[in-house]
Amino acid sequence: MSKEIQTEKEPAMSTEARRMRLFTRQPLSPLGKIAARGFLIATIACAAIAVMLTIFNGAPSRDIVTVSALLLITTILVTTRIRWMQVIATLVGVYILYMLFTEPFVIESLANPKGPNGGFGHFAGDVLIIAIAILAFVANIGTVLQNYHRISYQKPRQLAPAFSIIGGMIIGALFIGALAPPPAPVATLQNPQIPAGPGVPTSVNMGMTGAPIAVTQLQAPATTAHVDHFTLTAQTAQLALDSNTTVPAWTFNGTAPGPTLHVRQGDEVVITLVNHLSFGVTIHWHGVRVPNAADGVAGVTQDAVKPGQSYVYRFIALDAGTYWYHSHQFSDEETTNGLYGMLIVDPATPTIHADVDASVALHTWNGPNNQTIYTMNTTAGTLNQIARPGQWVRLRIVNTAETPSGNPQLVTLVGAPFQVVSLDGHDLHGPQWLTDTPLPIGSAQRYDLYFQMPSHGSVTLVTADDNQSYVHAPAFVIGQGSVPTRLPAIAKWFDLTTYGTPTPDPVTPQSHFDATYNIVLGNQMGTSLGRTGMTYTMNGKVFPNTGMLMVKDGQLIKLHFDNQTNLYHPMHLHGHIFTVLDQNGKPLSGSPVHQDTILVPPHATYDVAFVANNPGIWMLHCHNFLHANWGMDMMLMYNISTPYTVGNASGNFPD
């Protein structure tokens, strides 16, 4: 019986085969229809992305254009209904899937859907397009198998298409598995270690014993001001600096810089720090005149916040400007590895008009091969900011790290003349227009630039690789365009002592000073916290033996920095804003300058002065983290006591 049917069927099949010419068309099976529609939908989706990229970024990526074109070709090949063309379609499909799966952008957004380059839209888009492409690909394999194995599709047999799909998936998975790059091993950071052994202080109290007021009492007054609440969670993250480089980091809320906190002058700012790391963390509000209890210095104004615990900072944003925040427990390791972010205080009454207000943090990372990777807001490549021709832009720049040499990071703006409108967040008077002027930014310093977008093209912020020459990456491109191929040579540096125009200031070199302190900055081989090596000294001593500068509320205090080393020292005073009086004895000839961090060049002196109007125990230290970690810190003291201690009894090490 069955033999009879076979003999009847065989000749019919071979006639059919003989009639099948090279360009014979076959009707599309249901699987073929799925394949054709799937490839078409994927084509449209990819083309739409290419169009959107063109609109928002000025150009689509080459890969998306290639994939769209290949998808279109595949769609056409499938719909020819010629079976060998469908075979070619399958092969092209393999290449498309390979491209989709190895595209760095896709990998990044799939791996980190909430990351800076991802976003849920990207994630969903990538997942959908890849899913549709796989479906179409597998259906196409099924069609090919049906065509060549004469799996009937006029009288549908359920198992054949199902087997085709499974077979196609296995083939696809094998191809992708073989072609896709292996996932990079996940590197981790070593936790900061509490120093131990001889020479490491056990318990040093930085306060005045028996003083009438303790740090803990120096809180922000109760106000009826508008309150801005933020939560910053210290947590680990893997940061993709470019398509090939991911570094392990400690971050606030998963990114570095952490969230940029925008508040208004006069607001009450309340920040809850939650520690999800496995070691202590604090937050210092760099440059902000906070009450002492909110200063975030481990062992001085609080204990480092333990793993799993939280801490609330509360202060009034007294001054408008560009500030930043970072951990002040093991500042060197913790800030360098990502525990920092920006804080922007908008003026209560606007001073200058900006259509676009952008901010960028310059940072350096230790790469997988121990190389130094320079980034702008965590990108080692090009950062983009939309701005239209004619718009006014305020660009806020902070240096949150340091170059390997310890020299200031040089940046400039190419494409438009610009003004430096403020330094460390404090406005300058009568700033002149500058063109391509190199701006030296010491660690922790801020520059606010102001410029108008040209009628066409873009404006780019570039940096110099440790002062040698400007480099093309990282770069910040504002407006439509890309980093110029030719960058200017490094010209004469910006000089804050001659920039801007004079205007009366309450503090001048002629003011009467209640006290003047000389601070000699030195370096020598020695020991610091039980280690032997190059130490950085203040008046010949290393922290915590550097002593303290005693001041009284209301006094006008002058600090004389005398740098006797071959290195730059960005000297930072907590809790106060100082007026810069002179450099090397030469008074400022331009605008008055108010800063919280003064970059003292090698073998130079600077005089600065401030009104002691914020009682507490305040650090005065070099903001080159390495120098601070090896001794260059001291305290400014108002006769205040503290219940906290520095040393391995408490585990508090502010630097």
Q: Does 623 bind ligand C2O (CB under 6 A)?
A: yes
The piece of 73-81, 123-131, 365-373, 616-624 that touches ligand C2O (CB under 6 A) is 616-624
From ligand C2O, Cu ion, none, interface partner of 623 (C-beta below 5 to 8 A by class): ligand C2O
| CA dihedral over 323, 325, 326, 329, signed as positive or negative | positive
**In the complex, minimum distance from the CB of residue 567 to Cu ion, in angstroms, rounded to a whole number:** 6
* 263: three-class secondary structure by DSSP: strand
Contacts to ligand C2O from residues 544-573, by CB under 6 A: 572
Given the complex with ligand C2O, which of 42 and 573 has the nearer CB atom?
573
Using CB under 6 A as the binding rule, whether residue 208 contacts ligand C2O is answered as no
Span of 5-13, 30-38, 208-216, 617-625 interacting with ligand C2O by CB under 6 A:
617-625
Dihedral sign for Cα atoms in the order 303, 305, 308, 312: positive
* Cβ neighbours of residue 556 closer than 8 Å, sequence gap 6 or more: 507, 511, 512, 513, 514, 609, 610, 611, 612
Proportion of the chain in helix, strand, coil states, percent, rounded to 5: 25, 30, 45
Write down the least CB distance from residue 526 to ligand C2O, Å.
Answer: 22
Specify the residue, 82 or 234, whose C-beta has the smaller distance to ligand C2O: 234
297 — phi, psi (to 5°)?
-100, 115
Single residue of 106, 360, 414, 622 touching Cu ion by CB under 5 A: 622
Residue closest to 411 by CA, chosen among 488, 335, 305, 339: 488
Shorter beta-carbon distance to Cu ion: residue 426 or 627: 627
Length of the chain: 655
Give me 430's structure tokens. Answer: 């009568």
- The reply to whether 478 sits near Cu ion by the rule CB under 5 A is no
Of 409 and 480, which has the nearer Cβ to ligand C2O? 409
Interacting partner of 624 out of ligand C2O, Cu ion, none (Cβ under 5 to 8 A depending on kind): Cu ion
326 scored as a contact of ligand C2O (CB under 6 A): yes
Q: Which does 622 bind (CB under 5 to 8 A by kind): Cu ion, ligand C2O, none?
A: Cu ion
Minimum CB–partner distance for residue 523 and Cu ion (Å):
8
Question: Taking CB under 6 A as the rule, does residue 394 contact ligand C2O?
Answer: no
Q: Which two tokens stand for residue 281?
A: 């963390």
Does 576 participate in binding ligand C2O (rule CB under 6 A)? Answer: no
Measured from the CB of residue 535, what is the shortest distance to ligand C2O in angstroms? 18
Q: At what angle do helices 119-149 and 159-179 cross, to 10 degrees?
A: 120
- Residue 234: CB minimum distance to ligand C2O, A: 16
558 binds Cu ion (CB under 5 A): no
Q: Site residues for ligand C2O, window 262-291 (CB under 6 A)? A: 284, 286
Beta bridge partners of 300: none
Mapped onto helix, strand or coil, the DSSP state of residue 594 is strand
Indicate the SS3 state at residue 646: strand
Binding-site size for Cu ion (CB under 5 A) equals 4
Residues 411-450 that bind ligand C2O (CB under 6 A): 444
Q: Which residue matches tokens 């040499």?
A: 405
In a 3-state reduction of DSSP, which class is residue 517?
Answer: strand
Residue 426: which of Cu ion, ligand C2O, none does it interact with, CB under 5 to 8 A by kind?
none
Beta strand pairing status for 321-326 and 310-316?
Answer: unpaired
Binder among 161, 542, 627, 655 for Cu ion (CB under 5 A): 627
358 binds ligand C2O (CB under 6 A): no
Phi first, then psi, for residue 20 (nearest 5°) are -75, 105
Smallest distance, Cu ion to C-beta of residue 620, A: 12
Residue 621 found at the interface with ligand C2O (CB under 6 A): yes
Q: Applying CB under 6 A, does 619 fall inside the site for ligand C2O? A: yes
| DSSP assignment string, 70-106 | HHHHHHHHHHT-BHHHHHHHHHHHHHHHHHHHH-HHH
Q: What is the CB-side half-sphere exposure of residue 345 using CA atoms within 13 A?
A: 26
Q: 97-128: buried (b, 16+ CB within 10 Å) or exposed (e) per residue?
A: bebbbebebbbbbbebbebbebeeebbebbee
State the binding partner of 621 from Cu ion, ligand C2O, none, CB within 5 to 8 A by kind: ligand C2O
Contact with ligand C2O (CB under 6 A) among 569, 574, 576, 594: 574
Nearest residue to ligand C2O on Cβ basis: 286
Rounded to whole angstroms, the Cα distance separating 306 from 274 reads: 9
Q: Is position 83 an interface residue for Cu ion (rule: CB under 5 A)?
A: no
Nearest CB to Cu ion, comparing residues 268 and 402:
402
83 or 426: whose CB is closer to ligand C2O?
A: 426
We find the least distance from the C-beta atom of residue 623 to ligand C2O, in angstroms, to be 6
83 near ligand C2O, rule: CB under 6 A: no
- Enumerate residues 177-236 that contact Cu ion by CB under 5 A: none
Q: Is 92 in the site for ligand C2O (CB under 6 A)?
A: no
Rounded distance, CA 26 to CA 148, Å? 12
Which of ligand C2O, Cu ion, none sits in contact with 284, Cβ below 5 to 8 A by type? ligand C2O
Regarding 345 and contact with ligand C2O (CB under 6 A), the answer is: no
Distance of CA 247 to the CA centre of its chain: 12
Sign of CA dihedral 137, 138, 139, 141: positive
Provide the mask over 560-589, with x wherever binding to Cu ion is found by CB under 5 A and - wherever it is not: ---------x--------------------
Q: Which one of residues 624, 629, 642, 645 is an interface residue with Cu ion (CB under 5 A)?
A: 624
Q: Smallest gap, in angstroms, from Cβ of residue 278 to ligand C2O?
A: 23
Q: Angle formed by the axes of helices 119-149 and 83-102, to 10°?
A: 150
328 binds, among ligand C2O, Cu ion, none (CB under 5 to 8 A by kind): ligand C2O
CA distance linking residue 334 with residue 97, whole number of Å: 41
CB of 624 to Cu ion, least distance (A): 4
Least Å distance between CB 526 and Cu ion? 15
Residues 269 and 294 sit within 8 Å (Cβ to Cβ) = no
* Contacts of residue 109, Cβ cutoff 8 Å, sequence gap at least 6: 115, 117, 118, 119, 122, 123, 126
Q: Which two tokens stand for residue 469?
A: 């020459």
- Binding positions for ligand C2O, rule: CB under 6 A: 284, 286, 326, 328, 444, 572, 574, 619, 621, 623
- Binding positions for Cu ion, rule: CB under 5 A: 569, 622, 624, 627
